[in-house]
Amino acid sequence: MVFVTAFEPFGSSTVNGSQQAALRWAVRDPEISLVVLPVVRAQAWSAAQAALVALPEPPKLWLMLGEAGREPQTVRLEKVAINWDDYRLPDNLGEQPRDVAIVPGGPDAYFASLNVGQVALALESKTPLPVQVSLSAGSFLCNHLAYQALHAALAFPCAFVHVPAWRPEDGPEALEKLVTTLQAIKSAAL
């Protein structure tokens, strides 16, 4: 079983591409256990922890999905999570931490516990959307969740995956390309 998390919409948007892709993916893949997390600094990690504890057995893998910008149409496997919150916009409860540690006194950064370089290499030119390694999960909730997960030193690999910001006007084919790419990432990771 693979644990997948995605985020609800945030900011002025009513859609989150990570949520839409994950919902479609989970419907067709019985190995996926999906949880949509709140875009709330004080709640996302605890909601993920509660979902992990409720699983009947530990997952083989945790893929954390989050939404990146609309361009380029690339799926990014995040190699690094940093111990830093610096939100460019407020979360869904209006919190906007600036220049603060996620875990005071914690390590400055962690590398993904999944070998994202190996996964990206295995998928080179084999997916509808390019899959690349990225060295920055940002400083918003995506990075916050990734850092918390890696700081917890879980017994299974996990990595953060930034997906393009799909919107309904992009059409179902664009969403399908994203889901197919995520399925390939899962297969390569396992």
pLDDT digits (tens, 9 = 90+) for 41-91: 999 999 999 999 999 999 999 999 999 988 789 999 999 999 999 999 999
Active site residue 8: no
* pLDDT the model gives residue 174: 96
Q: Which of 67, 144, 158, 162 is catalytic?
A: 162
Quick check: 31 and 59 in contact, CB under 8 A?
A: no
CATH, domain range 2-189: 3.40.630.20
Q: Is 158 a catalytic residue?
A: no
Mean pLDDT of 142-166: 97
Give the pLDDT confidence score for residue 13 in this predicted structure: 94
**What confidence score (pLDDT) does residue 69 get?**
84
Amino acid 100 reads: V
Q: Mean pLDDT of all residues in the chain?
A: 97
Q: Could you say which DSSP state residue 34 is in?
A: E
Catalytic residue among 67, 78, 144, 158: 78
Q: Rounded to whole angstroms, what are the CA distances from 27 to 20, 32, 40, 127?
A: 11, 9, 26, 20
**Is 67 a catalytic site residue?**
no
> What is the predicted pLDDT for the residue at 10?
96
Compute how many other C-beta atoms are within 10 angstroms of the C-beta atom of residue 62: 22
The answer to whether 91 and 39 are in contact (CB under 8 A) is: yes
Residues 144 and 45: beta-carbon distance below 8 Å: yes
